[in-house]
Structure 1
Amino acid sequence: MAENNTPQIRTDIPHSARIWNYWMGGKDNYEVDRVVGEASLEVDPDISTMAVQSRQFLIRAVTYLAQEAGVRQFLDIGTGLPTMQNTHEVAQGIAPESKIVYVDNDPLVLTYARALLNSTTNEGVTTYVDCDYHDPEQIIADARNVLNFDKPIGVMFMGVLGHAKTYDDMLRIVRTVLGAVPSGSYLVLWDGTDDSKAYVTLCENYTNSGGVPYVPRPQDQIRAAFDGLEMVEPGFVSITEWRSGDTQVGETRPISAYGAVARKP
């Protein structure tokens, strides 16, 4: 009999990816996740806004890359649980031939990915690789099976670099991946910053509870990930302010989550 390697989904223990899904208004969460999610809101009421606005930033950034920059390949590193308007849905909705590679190494995320991250078109490709984002060389090797590294790629780090152990490690991860993609590729990146005491406390509580450590960093450290790249207007800003215009959903005030889109020259 073939061995079943599908991880068991525990519904009696809260899971960070499901809690984030709850904050985003998703349905892939359980009562235990919602309880923790609500308790976290008492520490930092802005965390649900950050979750929602991070997805709005993703939608606007991918729309820009596919519609204005002509990018047809995307490498989404640390994707988290699938929810509404995932990268492949946005990109393939504009350019059906788009290819998307999702990267994560969380067994729960990969279980959901197998079921939900499927191409929305016959022309496009959507796949995922099981890889730790601390190992960018392996990510590149696996992504080459799907993506053409001689053509521009949209590299995405959406709220995951706080898991890097150190500032230098964060830069190593980003620069290793960017070093492998050609001129004309783009970096899309946002992360939580340490200018909110409530958010810092929330992250400390999460880390102390046994979660994978997450370190909010100063804005200038996140901004340094874009060194040597050509910023797309409006540059490095709170994610609520990046090309929001008439498409913004929910809060429009700045929050402690900053990012940008930038082109590799």
Structure 2
Amino acid sequence: MSDSPFGGHLPIEIDTTVAHEARVYDYWLGGKENYPADRALGDAIAQHVPTIKTMARANRAFLGRAVRHLVAEAGITQFLDIGTGIPTAGNTHEVAQVLDPGARVVYVDKDPIVLAHARALMASTPQGRTRFIHADLHDPRSILDHPDLAATLDLSEPVAIMLIAIMMYFRDSDHPSDIIATLLDAVPSGSYIVITHPTADFAPQAMAGVKAAAESSGIPFEPRSKSDTGKLFAGTTLVDPGLVPVATWHPELTDRPTPVADAESAWYWAGIGRKP
């Protein structure tokens, strides 16, 4: 095991023989930073959910809409994006800095391949700033206590914590609500939490197949109901329109106007909560 040059003590060697969440997601998004094990798992999941690539893109599109809302409507200029994934078009800092060139973003991911592409995540505007922290959300203090976070974000001012399609990798025994509470405790009133989460509410049998495929590859996967996803927003007030199917959350905020998607076209719940 080698220490990451970006901090922490996670392994930086890339094991291409084992599927990894970030690389499977990259495969669904049409990226190139994935390997046979990742594609095999991605295809196995697609056998249960043939539209999985469309769902992944809908989830990614939500990130852009959420950032636009937070900057333009809530005045947020600081983002903590955890579970960043492999850089692709429309990264958080790219969307935010179009609206406010001074926006600052800290990215966090545990996958060493994301670390390898971290420089792409730090291509900030001159007025803003971005940093990447190689850390694992299972240990939120390793993120909050990292010197690069303090050097980039002012935690006395509101921050948007982005948890896009990551909490499903935490079993109930990992106490995901406690992890989120630790993050929220570190930021002031007026901060936000942004979550998308896959669910079995729309297609229980298909999602059971997804769970089995992921678990057989060694990846924990916990789809949660609307009620259980809502519990992850404890301590915050959901902003309009509340917790809704991801494709229907403020579709007018997309950068490419499209017809409103069917509510069940992507099996994710999505919402933004504001810390009072």
TM over 0.5: yes
Structure 1: gaps of 5 or more residues: none
Post-superposition shift, 1:166?
1.1
Quote the offset at 1:246 in angstroms: 6.9
Q: Does 1:261 pair with 2:267?
A: no
SS in 1 for 2:106: strand
Residue in 2 that maps onto 1:194: 200
The 1-side partners of 2:125 and 2:113 are apart by 25
**1:224 aligned to which of 224, 231, 234:** 231
Alignment of 1:17-166 (within 5 A): 17-30=22-35, 33-113=38-118, 115-142=119-146, 143-166=149-172
CA distance in 2, matches of 1:178, 1:166: 19
String of CA shifts for 1:108-155, please: whole Å, max 9, x gaps: 221122x32123311111111111101112211122232111000001
Between the aligned residues of both structures, percent identity stands at: 39
Q: CA deviation at 1:168?
A: 6.7
**Equivalent residue number for residue 186 of structure 2:** 180
Q: Deviations over 1:167-225 (max 9, x none)?
A: 67110011110111001111111111122221231122111122x31111222111112
Residue 15 to residue 180, structure 1, CA distance change in 2 (3 Å):
closer
Change (3 A) 1:251 1:26: farther
CA contact (8 A) 2:200 2:224 kept: yes
1:27-52 deviations in Å (ceiling 9; x for gaps): 32345544443342122113212210
- State the match for 1:252 in structure 2: 261
* Structure 1 contact 155–187 (Cα < 8 Å) conserved: yes
Q: Which runs of 4+ in 1 moved over 4 A?
A: 3-14, 248-251
Once the two structures are TM-superposed, the CA of residue 237 in structure 1 deviates from its matched residue by 0.2
Alpha-carbon spacing, 1:4–1:168, altered in 2? closer, same or farther (3 Å): closer
Q: Give, in whole Å, the separation in 1 of the partners of 2:90 and 2:4.
A: 30
Are the equivalent residues in 2 in contact too, given 1:49–1:251 (CA < 8 A)? no
Deviation at 1:14, TM superposition (A): 4.3
In the aligned structure 2, how far is the partner of 1:85 from the partner of 1:181? Answer: 25
Greater mean alpha carbon deviation, residues 129-138 or residues 36-45: 36-45
Offset, 1:63: 0.5
Cα distance in 1 between the residues matched to 2:178 and 2:159 = 19
Q: CA RMSD in A?
A: 2.4
* CA-CA distance at 1:250 after TM superposition: 8.2
Which amino acid in the other structure matches residue 207 of structure 1? Answer: E
**What is the letter of the counterpart of residue 203 of structure 1?**
K
Q: Secondary structure at the match of 1:220?
A: helix
Structure 1 distance, partners of 2:140, 2:211, is: 25
* Cα distance in 2 for residues equivalent to 1:167 and 1:94: 40
Aligned CA distance change for structure 1 residues 83 and 249 (closer, same or farther; 3 Å): farther
TM-score by length of 2: 0.86
Corresponding pairs, count: 261
Per the TM alignment, residue 162 of structure 1 is displaced from its structure 2 partner at its CA by 1.2
Separation in structure 1 between the aligned mates of residue 174 and residue 34 of structure 2, nearest angstrom = 34
Contact 1:236 1:258 in 2 (8 A): yes
